[in-house]
Chains A and B, each alone.
Chain A
Amino acid sequence: MIKELHEKLIKGETTSVKLTEEYFEKIKNRDKEIQAYLTLTKDLAIKQANFIDEKIKKGDEIEILSGIPVAIKDNICIEGIRTTAASKILDNYIAPYDATVIKKLKEKGAVILGKTNMDEFAMGSSTENSAYQITKNPNDIERVPGGSSGGSAAAVAEDEAVWALGSDTGGSIRQPASFCGIVGLKPTYGRVSRHGLLAMASSLDQIGPLTKTVEDAAIVLSEIIGEDKKDATSAPSFDKRYENYLTGDISKIKIGIPKEYLEKGLDEDIKNKFQEAIQQFRKLGAEIKEISLPHSKYSLSTYYLIMPSEVSSNLARFDGIKYGLRVDDKESSGFKENGIPRTLFETYLDSREYGFGSEVKRRIMLGTYALSAGYYDAYYLKAQKVRALIKRDFEEAFREVDFIFSPTTPEVAFKIGEKTSDLLKMYLSDIFTIAANLSGVPGISFPIGKIKKDGKDLPIGGQLMGKWFDEEGILNAAHTFEINYSQPI
């Protein structure tokens, strides 16, 4: 889709301003219902679009993403633009700088339409934890779009943006991509700089694209990778162009199916579609092999220990002093009648009580407990050791196979409100995606079919995980599947 639009722009069949205005028109018409966007950046967008159109008029060469409208998850900083991470505590926060990925996109001429809704600080699997609004799944507006990058996924699925950026800590790009019927890529840990991404769990967070096609994901990835002095975990990229690796040929590759993923809790319809997809990969010439990831049953508990621990540390910065919401003025906040907090400690307590939502508070408290004196060895250290075993499972598996294939989620998009009262059930929707974050490997979700529920066609995603830094491999395998079997939206 990006390539086609790029061609149209350089051939003069459309202009960037025209394209951008078309997208704002779509947002105006559809977003009242879908509620994917938190903030629109029309001035910024039109200015950028004009700049690109001028370049085209002058006959200058433009980059592949130039002039093409994109949506950005609201936990990624854009200079001078409100950045809330869907939290009340950042309600009035204006980012003073561009995230590295934004700097790159601006340099490449991308047109930023706005910031998308998400679970508060990326904590959730349905985007219901946003402090502002509930985003609907475009396939069935009674259902969630997934999360935490639910706004980005819904915006792309509803064509309120050509593509979007999200972030993925335990599945937050891949799970909503799967629920909305689009493509979502979590690159290898370190592949993309996180400077300017509001940190959630730093040993797991990664930025990646949500797109309509696998080729688009490859194109975007090529533009956002790279080592960055401002993110010490980022790795050298050697300016790889991932779209050049999309050969459409997977005849010699080996795909592993982890037997543990099919054991229990998997929806029958998904299981059937997944088996069908395995057959399709076979027809494309891939060799299918059953493999074992023996520690995968512990990934959820390992994740729910490590993640909150890092959350509790990362979110300590929201203190009501440096930036963001401060609650200590009963006149304006209406909060706590018994007087104005006078000390720093009281300001911390009140600002954080009022500014954070319940899931965020729960995770901060859980992490604080796991890291507190006397519990560190039993919880955090133990989890980091199990994490080493989970990583080892992957190392061993990748000695036998090139990629690992599984469903992205154990079930299709669920109804709004269906899981909000049962935490563990909500957490289970990330069961197949979190291992990639714990082990650091790249993972891509792409549509493998649809099933009918309540008269609506609901998409199912398949997930391919690859070796560390082998994004080109999983992109090519997903692309080969897509051009032969998927009907892109």
Chain B
Amino acid sequence: MLSAKDVKHIASLSRIGIEDKEVEDYQKNLSTILDYFKELEEVNTDGIEPIGHITGRDNVSRGDLRVEKSELERNAILDNSPEKKDDYIKVKSVL
């Protein structure tokens, strides 16, 4: 079973805050599912290539070009951001 420390570490990697009282629930639930995965160990996959793309399409590329957008289109995007300054999305300080 995952330890409380494991769960807190995974939550932090996932950027999800958790309350102390939730830790035990996550320990139980995540461990149940992880245990279920163990059945995959019995499958012999020697020499099997992992699936990359299921219908075998190749990479599709496009030019890395700037596309001009109207003010209306710009605002539709900016208006969705929780905090903006002028025409920019405001990001909080990292440290």
Bound together, the chains give a CA A349 to CA B19 distance in angstroms of 11
Find B51's partner among A79, A322, A345, A384 (CB 8 Å cutoff): A384
| Chain A residue nearest to B38 in the complex (CB) | A301
Asked whether, in the complex, the Cβ of A295 is within 8 Å of the Cβ of B43, the reply is: yes
Asked whether, in the complex, the Cβ of A305 is within 8 Å of the Cβ of B76, the reply is: no
Bound together, the chains give a CA A379 to CA B54 distance in angstroms of 19
**A386 touching B43 in the complex, CB below 8 Å, given contacts A344-B92, A368-B10, A368-B14:** yes
Bound together, the chains give a CA A238 to CA B23 distance in angstroms of 52
Asked whether, in the complex, the Cβ of B92 is within 8 Å of the Cβ of A343, the reply is: yes
| Chain A residue nearest to B18 in the complex (CB) | A353
Give B11 Cβ to nearest chain A Cβ, in Å. Answer: 6
- What number of B residues sit within 8 Å (CB to CB) of A? 48
Asked whether, in the complex, the Cβ of B15 is within 8 Å of the Cβ of A94, the reply is: no
A62 at the interface (CB under 8 A from B): no
B83 at the interface (CB under 8 A from A): yes
Asked whether, in the complex, the Cβ of A383 is within 8 Å of the Cβ of B54, the reply is: no
The stretch of A158-166, A229-237, A280-288, A474-482 that contacts the partner chain: A229-237
B3 at the interface (CB under 8 A from A): no
For B50, list chain A residues within 8 Å (CB).
Answer: 381, 384-385, 387-388
**What secondary structure prevails in chain B residues at the interface with A?**
loop
Q: Which of B13-55 contact A (CB under 8 A)?
A: 13-18, 26, 29-30, 32-34, 36-37, 39-41, 43, 45, 48-51, 53-55
Asked whether, in the complex, the Cβ of B82 is within 8 Å of the Cβ of A94, the reply is: no
A321 at the interface (CB under 8 A from B): yes
For A424, list chain B residues within 8 Å (CB).
Answer: 32-33, 36
Bound together, the chains give a CA A381 to CA B43 distance in angstroms of 13
Give A126 Cβ to nearest chain B Cβ, in Å. Answer: 17
Asked whether, in the complex, the Cβ of B40 is within 8 Å of the Cβ of A386, the reply is: yes
Asked whether, in the complex, the Cβ of A343 is within 8 Å of the Cβ of B62, the reply is: no
Asked whether, in the complex, the Cβ of B37 is within 8 Å of the Cβ of A388, the reply is: no
Asked whether, in the complex, the Cβ of A439 is within 8 Å of the Cβ of B54, the reply is: yes
Interface string of A58-94 (1 = CB under 8 A from B): 0000000000000000000001100000000000111
B77 at the interface (CB under 8 A from A): yes
**What secondary structure prevails in chain A residues at the interface with B?**
helix
Asked whether, in the complex, the Cβ of A423 is within 8 Å of the Cβ of B14, the reply is: no
Bound together, the chains give a CA A388 to CA B51 distance in angstroms of 5
Interface string of A367-402 (1 = CB under 8 A from B): 011001000000101111111110100000000000
- What number of A residues sit within 8 Å (CB to CB) of B? 72
**A342 touching B92 in the complex, CB below 8 Å, given contacts A372-B13, A379-B37, A385-B45:** yes
Give A226 Cβ to nearest chain B Cβ, in Å. Answer: 14
Interface string of A447-489 (1 = CB under 8 A from B): 0000000000000000000001000000000000000000000
Interface string of A330-358 (1 = CB under 8 A from B): 00000010000111110111101100100
A188 at the interface (CB under 8 A from B): yes
Asked whether, in the complex, the Cβ of B57 is within 8 Å of the Cβ of A190, the reply is: yes
Asked whether, in the complex, the Cβ of B81 is within 8 Å of the Cβ of A322, the reply is: yes
A364 at the interface (CB under 8 A from B): yes
B65 at the interface (CB under 8 A from A): no
Bound together, the chains give a CA A344 to CA B34 distance in angstroms of 31
Find A423's partner among B17, B32, B92 (CB 8 Å cutoff): B32
Q: Which of B63-89 contact A (CB under 8 A)?
A: 73, 76-77, 79-83, 89
Find A305's partner among B40, B81, B94 (CB 8 Å cutoff): B40
Asked whether, in the complex, the Cβ of B45 is within 8 Å of the Cβ of A304, the reply is: no
Find B16's partner among A233, A323, A353 (CB 8 Å cutoff): A353
Report B's interface with A, CB cutoff 8 A. 7, 10-18, 26, 29-30, 32-34, 36-37, 39-41, 43, 45, 48-51, 53-55, 57, 59-60, 62, 73, 76-77, 79-83, 89, 91-95
Q: A94-B80, A312-B14 are in contact. List 13 more A-B contacts (CB 8 A).
A: A97-B76, A232-B60, A235-B55, A235-B57, A304-B36, A341-B92, A347-B92, A352-B16, A366-B33, A381-B50, A389-B45, A389-B48, A438-B54
Q: Which 3 A-B pairs have the closest CB atoms?
A: A384-B50, A353-B17, A440-B54
Chain A to chain B contacts (Cβ below 8 Å), 20 pairs: A96-B73, A96-B76, A97-B76, A229-B62, A232-B60, A235-B57, A295-B43, A298-B40, A301-B36, A301-B39, A305-B40, A319-B15, A322-B80, A323-B80, A325-B82, A342-B93, A344-B93, A353-B18, A365-B30, A382-B45
